[in-house]
Structure 1
Amino acid sequence: MSNNSVDLHKELKTFFGFNKFKGLQEQVIKSIIEGNDTFVIMPTGGGKSLCYQLPALIKEGTAIVVSPLIALMKNQVDAIRGISSHRGIAHVLNSSLNKSEVNQVKSDIENGITKLLYVAPESLIKEEYIDFLKSQKISFVAIDEAHCISEWGHDFRPEYRNLRNIIEKIDNVPIIGLTATATEKVQEDILKTLGMSDAKTFKASFNRPNLFYDVRPKTKNINSDIIRFIRLHMNKSGIIYCLSRKKVEEIAQVLQVNGIKAVPYHAGLDAKTRAKHQDMFLMEDVDVVVATIAFGMGIDKPDVRFVIHHDIPKSLESYYQETGRAGRDGGEGYCLAYYSYKDIEKLEKFLSGKPIAEQEIGNALLQEVVGYAETSMSRRKYLLHYFGEEFDDVNGLGADMDDNVRNPKKKHEAEDDLKLLLEVVRETNQKYKSKEVVNTLIGKVNALLKSHKTDQQSFFGAGKKREGNYWMALIRQALVAGFIKKEIEQYGVVKITEKGINFINNPTSFMMTEDHVYTESDDAPIVASTKGGSASADETLVKLLKDLQKTVAKKNGVPPYAVFQETSLDDMALKYPITIDELKNIYGVGDGKARKFGKPFVELIAKYVEENDILRPDDFVVKSTGVNSGLKLYIIQNTDRKLPLQDIAKSKGLEFSELIEEMQRIVYSGTKINIDYCIDDLLDEDQQEEIFEYFMEAENDSIQRALDEFDGDYDEEELRLMRIKFISQVAN
């Protein structure tokens, strides 16, 4: 064998110019050369493709490589052609070829020139190709992105399911399955579907110690946060992922307007534009690509320095793959994700139209994402645990590279709660998923619990002194600590481990980390610091600004919140605006507000900055793309024309609630809108006066508080419209 390994090193040097193999590469290549079915799980950037490229070049015959993406095949074919004097050494066989190109491919295979043939699964189904390949010498079949086989994978492709039958038609050759992400469930599925349960399996560590993981609450201020972040990483390459094409276009535009070299990338662009944008990124003509998840598969750019998720992805596999595109050269890689439970609800809604089986899978995967985003433990440990790998979060490589570890959350003793949780799992015969376990603990009845008579048991409601989300957090931490596990066969059902049984019999201390609660305050601005986590406002300055807010309010005979909202004061204490122009860039402050109330505020801040030697953030301004200013103008003009609000919303493709939000934004930033004509249809004079007086006296402008106060006399819409009228009249 040692002789063989020397040869392998020689071949590696000859073909690729490398002196040594990376990680598990050498063992994998030996397995393939020996003719074994082989299964390789190797993270992005681990050198997966070399595992089949080198054996294909060494072995007699042609290796077939099945790959889901044309762009990915093209990249690899170009790379292989670059190491050989013969262009025909590697070919693509897919729908993009014409007749004469197909004939050229066939002739190169017949003449023993082609060592690697890249095909899409759809092409492999064609009878004419199957018949042709049957008669050729095939060395092996490699299936790249093998997770596409599994419905539990993050990128399921039905056409992958049938690959085994097609390969058998061609020849009885070894099969190599390769993937960059796979949970135990997906691994099991791949091996079963490819009929290679006795394959030699090689699994590399999923730990990427150079990546820093950071999750921040997503607020309306996300664009300025992203721009600020990119400016801190000026002239470095980065990718921003969004779930919709519309959002990709919008963000790319905002970045361009703010002087950042960015391009969009999504399936709605024609192939030529996509290729051009991808090349601009690779050639560093642009710094940032804003993309849907279609971007980045097989992109071998080693120095991507940050990956931002504007929207949280649908599964942790997707997240892992996408973040894995950062720092492939071992250098800095910052992975920043914005999280809001609203996004999860949108994805759940999107799933609700799918077949039941798909919904179940989709929801189970989403819950893992929620767990990751909301967890307060080491994100690296959580992520690696998901992929079936234990991580030492004290001494492990990269242990301090995440926001939760750098800014730890509080812990408390939860020994009794954990014991109760484990007992409930045991007493309900280990047949429930997390949600049912939590419902049992807090005593919330549903049909499933009723059918098993769980609601009649003595332990039903035994944990009602705690909230449901507390128990959910404890379940997540108990999973990672190994007291319980999720069943693979009945996906998501919680079972007790031996460690859990021991804990029930001999409980010991269990320090539970308190979860960060992601409540969405009324769109509070969050501005990033560079340390991970988020910067906090200058508390001393906030206090001074609040006193001034009260004084100015009294002088003008309006409630304090009508001068500036609290979120605006926080933002001032973060950005220190010292001119009226700078004040206009503060969250929720428009031109009108700045002119009407701004002078004493900027004077106070300027004095404070000077007295305390404060280093202000570089004059931070986010320019808008003008989309919103166009909408603002449209709304003002058409309310002046007394056009029904429903018609205004409809003509701009807005939901009515979205129109109300836009109008709120307009009046809160200091511009008047007159919607009396619409309110007069809804409420009589006395009712209007009653609500007006309420807002005048109220200590804040919360709609929920107003709803509670009026106890059903008015609905939310009426109160929101009256609040717009009120702010417009008294504050602007």
Structure 2
Amino acid sequence: MSSSARQILHDVFGYADFRGAQQSIVEHVAAGGDALVLMPTGGGKSLCYQIPALLRSGIGLVVSPLIALMQDQVDALKQLGVRAAFLNSSLDAEAARAITGQLHRGELDMLYVAPERLLMPNFLALLEQVQDGPGLALFAIDEAHCVSQWGHDFRPEYRALTVLHERFPDVPRIALTATADAPTRAEIVERLALEDARQFVSSFDRPNIRYRVTQKANARSQLEAFLEAEHPDDAGIVYCLSRKRVEETAEWLKARGWDALPYHAGLDTATRNANQRRFLREEGVIMVATVAFGMGIDKPNVRFVAHLDLPKSMEGYYQETGRAGRDGLPADAWMAYGLGDVVSMRQMLDSGEAPEERKRVERQKLDALLGFCESTACRHQTILRYFGEEHPGDCGQCDNCLEPVDTWDATQAAQMALSCVYRTGQRFGVVHLIDVLLGKTTPKIEQFRHQALSTYGIGQSLNQAQWSSVFRQLVAAGLLESDMQAYGGLKLTETARPVLKGEREVWLRRDAEPARRKTSKAERASRAKEAFAGAQDDPLWQALKARRLELAKEQGVPPYVIFHDSTLLEILNRRPGSLAEMGQISGVGQAKLARYGDAFLQALEEAEG
């Protein structure tokens, strides 16, 4: 069998050798076995079902959620001489009937179908007729992570695909995905009834991708500097969080001379398809998009993926950056990250309509990504650790390996944090743990009598933001882990033991501290200008401006009459937590403090979640 597989690999697809686990997967499925395949984007997943479909008698059915991309996949197979077709809602009735006829007559090697179409009773009845006639070679379930309710690509229809096993028990199934942490993997197995399937898990490492996270100042200017320096003529993807930001960024890049196109779910289908087609078919096109764009993109020479906003999770970040460098050649994953991203993402999570359990899981996934952003460790190591895989050593090409960041000896702080986690029972979240370390008195602390613990109040040398950073970095370093089955709790890992026993030092990324010495008027003006440039992209800045505009409309006055921009900027930078602290802001006199103080404190509280 392997010689036949190798012959198809060479003759049809033009490759001399299989890569990684490809041959084992092909042989297993071709022999009739079920398989779950986890393989990074660009690792050659499609060959794992295409070759067995050609080896086995009958027609290979590929279930894919990507209607807009089926045409390109089928066109590519036709170029190879493979008899392939797709059946989805984009076809008119006559074209669909023609393909159904080919299916009946056994004139196809492979058929791509959307899950919605496959689940229709008349289509399942058609498949039973095909099974009794030409036969069914296999079922390939692509993008299998869509079955997970916790994932960002959840498709309810995927959960009904167990019908394939129920109605066609003798047809082998192969489920494939490029992104699945342990809980998602378990959910795929459960929801698709793949308990007896053999699992093939390839390394998640993408050694050709250089990961870089930069502190956000003026994100668009930083993006353009990155493009000019390293990708002046390359195709790439720029991800933004909102549709509005996509439109604005695409227009800005176009005005600056870049061949940029927008893509988001709010555009009409014709525009989306036309822009996607241009990106796939032309060189040097930059797609500015929300996460609505990208799953299943086969363009091999995407040389960079840039994030102007923080993704929602490590899975999302890994999947999105994995669209770069699918050809194995060097590519960049560049991200501008700032506190405003944290604020906006947490706002989105908290204000969403998802059940509290799902919100909790998504918060933990976001925290893992924040830990990645703040980590001083090799980026490749941090990503792989999240997916339960170890990296042999520093990659030598991410930002942290190439330009090590300023760090501080956080051994004592780490011991305090780890001890606090242990002594409170390894079941509490970061907010409560920080309250214990800072010696705060809250109903929850009193309820659990945590003020009697030896760790109560021992962490007052650091503030809340610094402790938040410490905890996120300890999670990123693998000393603490979030238990998604427990309510928001952090627990120790085995690697925490040597730290607690004083046998291992912990060094963490140093957060930039505000200058404490007196500065000249010129220096203050210069720094204010730089801070203001960075503030434009901060959601909290936008929230403060919105509140000012709201108050100004109520008063019938220009916004600057309420507060000048310089005052808002100082509020943004200093984050006052009380009227007394607000009163120390330049431009806030007693009358304005009494009149507007509470309104702006409320805006800060709402924006920071």
TM-score w.r.t. the length of structure 2 is 0.83
Give the match for residue 40 of structure 2.
43
Residue 290 of structure 1 aligns to which amino acid in structure 2? V
Distance 1:34 1:244, change over 3 A: same
1:361 counterpart = 2:361? yes
Instruction: State the alpha-carbon separation in 2 of the partners of residues 237 and 717 from structure 1.
Output: 54
Instruction: State the alpha-carbon separation in 2 of the partners of residues 717 and 390 from structure 1.
Output: 56
Deviations 1:236-295 (A, max 9, x none): 212111122221111111111111121222223333322322232233355311112222
Give the match for residue 69 of structure 1.
66
Q: Is the 8 A contact 2:234 2:283 kept in 1?
A: no
Give the match for residue 655 of structure 1.
546
Deviations 1:91-127 (A, max 9, x none): 2222223333232222222222222222222112211
Q: Is the 8 A contact 1:263 1:286 kept in 2?
A: no
Give the match for residue 33 of structure 1.
30
Deviation of 1:29 (Å): 0.9
Deviation of 1:311 (Å): 1.2
Within a 5 Å distance, the mapping from 1:72-83 to structure 2 comes to 72-83=69-80
Give the match for residue 104 of structure 1.
98
Give the match for residue 450 of structure 2.
454
Q: Say which SS state the counterpart of residue 19 (structure 2) adopts.
A: coil
Instruction: State the alpha-carbon separation in 2 of the partners of residues 309 and 357 from structure 1.
Output: 28
Residue 165 of structure 1 aligns to which amino acid in structure 2? V
Give the match for residue 635 of structure 1.
none
Q: Say which SS state the counterpart of residue 715 (structure 1) adopts.
A: helix
Distance 1:308 1:497, change over 3 A: closer
Q: Is the 8 A contact 1:474 1:512 kept in 2?
A: no
Q: Is the 8 A contact 2:62 2:139 kept in 1?
A: yes
Q: Is the 8 A contact 1:252 1:263 kept in 2?
A: yes
Give the match for residue 8 of structure 2.
11
Deviation of 1:717 (Å): 10
Give the match for residue 113 of structure 1.
107
Instruction: State the alpha-carbon separation in 2 of the partners of residues 234 and 212 from structure 1.
Output: 17
1:318 counterpart = 2:316? yes
1:490 counterpart = 2:506? no
Deviation of 1:17 (Å): 1.3
Give the match for residue 389 of structure 2.
389
Deviations 1:500-529 (A, max 9, x none): 34554x43131312343598x9xxxxxxxx
Residue 72 of structure 1 aligns to which amino acid in structure 2? L
Distance 1:174 1:250, change over 3 A: same
Residue 367 of structure 2 aligns to which amino acid in structure 1? Q
Instruction: State the alpha-carbon separation in 2 of the partners of residues 126 and 490 from structure 1.
Output: 39
Give the match for residue 433 of structure 1.
429
Q: Is the 8 A contact 1:138 1:171 kept in 2?
A: no
Q: Say which SS state the counterpart of residue 21 (structure 1) adopts.
A: coil
1:189 counterpart = 2:183? no
Within a 5 Å distance, the mapping from 1:273-422 to structure 2 comes to 273-284=271-282, 286-351=284-349, 352-354=351-353, 355-394=355-394, 399-422=395-418
Deviations 1:561-581 (A, max 9, x none): 7xx65454x69xxxxxxxxxx
Q: Identify which of 213, 222, 227 aligns with 1:225.
A: 222
> RMSD of the alignment, in Å?
3.6
Give the match for residue 511 of structure 1.
506
Instruction: State the alpha-carbon separation in 2 of the partners of residues 30 and 518 from structure 1.
Output: 58
Distance 1:74 1:492, change over 3 A: farther
Instruction: State the alpha-carbon separation in 1 of the partners of residues 169 and 263 from structure 2.
Output: 39
Q: Is the 8 A contact 2:430 2:468 kept in 1?
A: yes
Distance 1:339 1:714, change over 3 A: farther
| Paired residues, number | 568
Percent identity between the aligned chains? 36
Deviation of 1:319 (Å): 1.1
Instruction: State the alpha-carbon separation in 1 of the partners of residues 486 and 460 from structure 2.
Output: 28
Instruction: State the alpha-carbon separation in 2 of the partners of residues 459 and 153 from structure 1.
Output: 37
Give the match for residue 128 of structure 1.
122
Give the match for residue 443 of structure 1.
439
Instruction: State the alpha-carbon separation in 2 of the partners of residues 147 and 447 from structure 1.
Output: 40
Indicate the structure (1 or 2) with the bigger Cα radius of gyration: 1
Q: Is the 8 A contact 1:237 1:306 kept in 2?
A: yes
Work out which structure has the larger RCO, using CA pairs closer than 8 Å and 6 or more positions apart in sequence.
2
Distance 1:283 1:90, change over 3 A: closer
Distance 1:66 1:714, change over 3 A: farther
Deviation of 1:453 (Å): 3.1
Deviation of 1:20 (Å): 0.9
Deviations 1:180-230 (A, max 9, x none): 1111111111111112123211111111122111112223x2222222222
Instruction: State the alpha-carbon separation in 1 of the partners of residues 153 and 222 from structure 2.
Output: 30
Within a 5 Å distance, the mapping from 1:189-268 to structure 2 comes to 189-219=187-217, 221-232=218-229, 233-268=231-266
Give the match for residue 602 of structure 1.
none
Instruction: State the alpha-carbon separation in 2 of the partners of residues 344 and 703 from structure 1.
Output: 15
Q: Say which SS state the counterpart of residue 584 (structure 2) adopts.
A: helix
Distance 1:69 1:460, change over 3 A: same
Instruction: State the alpha-carbon separation in 1 of the partners of residues 186 and 306 from structure 2.
Output: 31
Give the match for residue 86 of structure 2.
92
Deviations 1:631-653 (A, max 9, x none): xxxxxxxxxxxxxxxxxx9xxxx
Instruction: State the alpha-carbon separation in 2 of the partners of residues 259 and 50 from structure 1.
Output: 39
Q: Is the 8 A contact 2:306 2:333 kept in 1?
A: yes
Residue 352 of structure 2 aligns to which amino acid in structure 1? G
Q: Is the 8 A contact 2:63 2:139 kept in 1?
A: yes
Q: Is the 8 A contact 1:706 1:719 kept in 2?
A: no
Deviation of 1:26 (Å): 1.0
Give the match for residue 136 of structure 2.
138
Distance 1:405 1:84, change over 3 A: same
Distance 1:422 1:682, change over 3 A: closer
Distance 1:436 1:202, change over 3 A: farther
More displaced stretch, 464-473 vs 113-122? 464-473
Q: Say which SS state the counterpart of residue 513 (structure 1) adopts.
A: strand
Q: Identify which of 56, 59, 84 aligns with 2:56.
A: 59
Instruction: State the alpha-carbon separation in 1 of the partners of residues 245 and 100 from structure 2.
Output: 44
Q: Is the 8 A contact 2:382 2:477 kept in 1?
A: no
Distance 1:216 1:497, change over 3 A: closer
Residue 278 of structure 2 aligns to which amino acid in structure 1? M
Q: Say which SS state the counterpart of residue 336 (structure 2) adopts.
A: strand
Instruction: State the alpha-carbon separation in 2 of the partners of residues 401 and 72 from structure 1.
Output: 33
Within a 5 Å distance, the mapping from 1:519-530 to structure 2 comes to none
Q: Is the 8 A contact 2:427 2:487 kept in 1?
A: no
Distance 1:458 1:101, change over 3 A: same
Deviation of 1:709 (Å): 6.4
Deviations 1:355-394 (A, max 9, x none): 2223222222222222222223222221111111112333
Q: Is the 8 A contact 2:368 2:476 kept in 1?
A: no
Q: Is the 8 A contact 2:34 2:174 kept in 1?
A: yes
Give the match for residue 708 of structure 1.
584
Residue 510 of structure 1 aligns to which amino acid in structure 2? E
Instruction: State the alpha-carbon separation in 1 of the partners of residues 585 and 485 from structure 2.
Output: 51
Deviations 1:645-685 (A, max 9, x none): xxxx9xxxx83536999xxxxxxxxxxxxxx99489989xx
Unaligned runs of 5+ residues in structure 1 are 522-545, 551-559, 572-585, 589-648, 662-675, 721-732
